[in-house]
Chain A
Amino acid sequence: MATSTAGTSTPLVEVRGVSHKYGRAAGTAQVLQDVDLTLQTNEVVGLLGRSGSGKSTLLRSIAGLIHPSEGQVRLVHGDDGGQPSVAMVFQTFALFPWLTVLQNVELGLEAQRVPPDERRTRALAAIDLIGLDGFENAYPKELSGGMRQRVGLARAIVVNPSLLLMDEPFSALDVLTAETLRTDLLDLWLEGRMPIKSILIVTHNIEEAVLMCDRILVFSSNPGRVAAEIRVKLPQPRDRLDPAFRALVDDIYARMTVKTVGAPVPKDGLFPGLGIAMVLPRVSTNALAGLIEEVDAQPFDGKAPLAELADSLQLEVNELLPMAETLQLLRFAELTGPDIKLTPAARRYAQASVDDRKALFKQALLAHVPLAQHIRRILDERGSHDAPARRFRDELEDYMSPDYADETLRTVTHWGRYAEIFAFDEEDDRFSLDDPA
């Protein structure tokens, strides 16, 4: 840890007992629950977790953009007495399309009433540092994605923040561009050429976190909590092929699925609650079939390390884990530590014809997804064999926020249609047993 040993560490930001809820009435979504976190100077901290685990909410609380429902975020004054400040880099870049690169970078300085001459000098210096010289008068729409994110970075560091917040800064970029940008950022940081004291980065990419961070906080979801804290003691620059690096990545995969080991139906993580109160993620049956085929085939032959699978399928953890856990829910796979292992049913599925696949899926769905069971039973009981979707949505909203209820119902609709358990008419918003044929 070149940086941590070079400078002394003092607290920069203290987060104490932060909880946050969206919505006011009952059935609100608790995004963050009782989060404690201290950011030291001279460290890069990664927040890792699946979608909806409240990482971005925590980031925005520290940025002062959101007022958490409970708890405190305190920026600690440095020894020099200077007021600490934060700046943020966005996943979507968040550039103003009608301002040039230079004007975009000057935005924060302008707001601070920095005189025009100084503003110009500082902005040009930041543009130079980030490697954007020559593009000062270009408009964002003329730039490639990588160049745009460089503008976002220059705009953030030009205001001399003590803390740089990054919200999935590389996830909108292609693999090559993201890698270049990561390396450049790490070089600037390790050489101490940026005026920042600490970096907090939200990511879905485990390798990215291990590559960049001194400390990784793994978040669990529903509600968002710090599930694990991992110190990365590998020396910089880090090598992705280094066995120690691979071991750490595997370890993190294992930790992110650890809750589900041994429990037949996971009580936490993706599918909290039991019965119909389970939140189902939007995973397409095609993706599930693809995943089963991939694990079933060589070289994995039914058992694959998640990290390797993520690499070969080019998936990030927030995409892969919901798929893997859905397979586990349907008893098509078991998640054991860092590995995913197909059950015999799944291996039969991989070799089956289209109709047999549907039959297998139907069996699994009716046996292990209570909501699918519930809808089918209601439809069977009614003489007309149809029911408004509204009714099930209302039922779900007793247990979860309207957004989750909507997503869950969409997912079960998609799965149910594929398995031919029921039909759905979007126009009338009704389920039925109608067979279009």
Chain B
Amino acid sequence: MIATTKPLRARPFSRILRIAPPNLADLIAFLLIAGGIALLMRGAIDVAQPLSQLKVAPVTLDPRYLPGYAILTTLRMFAALAASTIFTLVVATLAARSRRAEQIIVPALDILQSVPILGFLTFTVTFFLRLFPGRLLGAECAAIFAIFTSQAWNMAFSFYQSLRSVPSDLEEVTRGFGLSPMRRFLRLELPFAIPGLVWNAMMSMSGGWFFVVASEAITVGNTTLALPGIGSWLALAIQRQDAVAVAWAVGAMAILILLYDQMFFRPIVAWADRFRFEQTASAERPSSWAYDLFRRTRLLPVVLAPLLGIGRLLMAIGPKAPLQPKPAGAARDPSRVGELLWRTALAALVLGSAWLIVDYVSRTLSWAEAGRAVIDACYTLIRVVVLITLASMAWVPIGVWIGLRPRWAARLQPLAQFLAAFPANVLFPFAVLAIVRWHLSPAIGLSPLMVLGTQWYILFNVIAGASVIPTDMREAASMFGVRGWQWWRTVALPAIFPYYVTGALTASGGSWNAAIVAEAVSWGNRHLEAAGLGSYIADATAAGDYPRVALGVAVMSIFVLAFNRLVWRRLYAYGERRFRLA
């Protein structure tokens, strides 16, 4: 929005209007944009349909309809991404600007990041269906909200952290020139935060595919929803035991993810590169053919003009710069009375919610039930630990091998990211087929499904870590004849450690979430289940037993949080202190 002011300025409006023969880039870009608008409108008409429409036109396993379903699924993803972005801009900015908002928002985001989102579906579906009774919109909102909850928290957290780490000298420049708060936001804070935001949005989208598949077709108690989309297609294929249809879904998903990566995120990453806060131009800059194509068009400035207009309008808000800037510090000192009121209100809120929880739980649940949930959580914990260990033992050596070979790394890194984005639950039916055919124990056979989608985070983080091991370090090691286990101990493992911890943290968080769909799977009328907290929540959801769902979600949140705090955070801090290559 800001940076694109350049092409407009370089090319006066009169020159844009002058009729020039549109080039090929214009044509392609126009088709892409028009197609996008058409899709949006179609999607919007569908949403306005009454809920009964679902019964009239149920999902059918006809490959002709598959592209349409894929489009609807994608639209839900983007709707959620838009909501997450708006949420991020508002909430994170609020947290960075107001000390009081910060006290609530930051810990809340931290916890929400590690809560099992799938467990919430029960509540949100019910809520949104009541909000828009009889409308498809309610079900759509529930699905979109599920994806939103998988995306928003880490985006907001990253944005908040960026806002808090704006370089102080630039901040002084904006204060010295008396930029209005909005202008400061658009000129300094937003651009500074964009690279981190784009990266986190990408990671969020990767996670989002998993949830869109899981949330399109859902049964809560005796309400069953099947929104047209790939997720519902998959659910129907499983119900009908149609392996071919499952394969179609896998193929469609792969194409979808490739397209969204090439057409959407690559261009944005290439564009966001200009906002990277560095004083020297880096040798390798991300490139994107789609971005280059859009940039070559003559249409682009016209399309962007409204956006720029909004930017200008926003900048015009606020008073003209005074000649003497306002000093910082003085404004942030809160008044005593206000502080006291705030603290009282906060304490009342905390006590109130604590009482509500105790009251609700004591009326609906017994201690025995809580004990059962904790024991189930321990089973799941064992699975997560064992599988993350196994995945690490497999992928760390492979990742290091790839990372040390730049040509392989360049080719395989995108593949690892693709695999991380690919929703593993689309592949579950094949695993179930295998278990059923060879009569494997579900408790063991279902376990690998938990890391099916999340192990790739370990792989691509290790590749990234290994590829930045300094050449001089590797040369020194080889010159002194360091090899074998000594090489791993002194060179490779310390160098990749911070990266590995980042990957393993993401993978283990994702695995807990995946447990909800991985520990209880079906193929037609056959139902496989492995004892664990995931199947506990899944069963409770299917039965519409809200108190037990709440209990399961709470126990899982506590386990994930404790695991993060006690293990991963410490390892991360240790790695940062000891092994970070400055």
Contact = CB atoms under 8 A, between A and B. Distances in A.
Interface residues of B, number: 39
Contacts of A96: 170, 173, 187-188, 191
Interface in A129-171: 137, 139-142, 148, 155, 159
Contacts of B274: 97-98, 139
A100 B173 CA distance: 16
Interface in B158-197: 167, 169-170, 172-173, 175-180, 183, 187-188, 191
A403 to B, nearest CB: 16
B-side binding surface: helix, strand, loop or mixed? Answer: loop
A137 B6 contact: yes
Interface string A76-116: 00000001111110101110111110010001101111000
A66 B327 contact: yes
Interface in B1-22: 2-3, 5-6, 10
B177 A111 contact: yes
A111 B276 contact: no
B326 interface: yes
B336 to A, nearest CB: 14
B172 A64 contact: no
A339 to B, nearest CB: 38
Given A75-B324, A97-B276, A65 B175 contact: yes
B340 interface: no
B179 A111 contact: yes
Interface in A366-403: none
A98 B2 contact: yes
A75 B280 CA distance: 38
Interface in A45-95: 60, 63-67, 75, 83-88, 90, 92-94
A66 B326 CA distance: 8
B431 to A, nearest CB: 44
Contacts of A90: 169, 172-173
B329 A66 contact: yes
Contact of A94 (B173, B183, B276): B173
B357 interface: no
A91 to B, nearest CB: 8
Contact of A113 (B187, B277, B321): B321
Contacts of A159: 177
Nearest to A426: B577
Contacts of B187: 96, 99, 107
Given A65-B325, A107-B177, A141 B320 contact: no
Contacts of B6: 100, 103, 137
A99 B281 CA distance: 14
A149 to B, nearest CB: 12
Interface in B312-338: 315, 320-321, 323-330
Contacts of B2: 98
A140 B177 contact: no
Nearest to A66: B327
Contacts of A92: 167, 169
Contacts of A64: 176, 324-327
Contact of A87 (B3, B176, B315, B320): B176
Contacts of A60: 172
A141 B173 contact: no
Contacts of B5: 103
A142 B3 contact: no
Contacts of B284: none
A88 B321 contact: no
Interface of B: 2-3, 5-6, 10, 167, 169-170, 172-173, 175-180, 183, 187-188, 191, 274-281, 315, 320-321, 323-330
Interface of A: 60, 63-67, 75, 83-88, 90, 92-94, 96-100, 103, 107-108, 110-113, 137, 139-142, 148, 155, 159
18 contacts: A63-B325, A65-B327, A67-B328, A67-B330, A88-B176, A94-B167, A94-B169, A94-B172, A96-B191, A97-B277, A98-B275, A111-B183, A111-B321, A112-B320, A137-B6, A142-B281, A148-B279, A155-B173
Given A93-B169, A94-B169, 17 more contacts: A63-B176, A67-B329, A67-B330, A85-B324, A96-B187, A96-B191, A97-B274, A97-B276, A97-B277, A98-B274, A107-B173, A111-B177, A111-B180, A111-B183, A111-B320, A141-B278, A142-B281
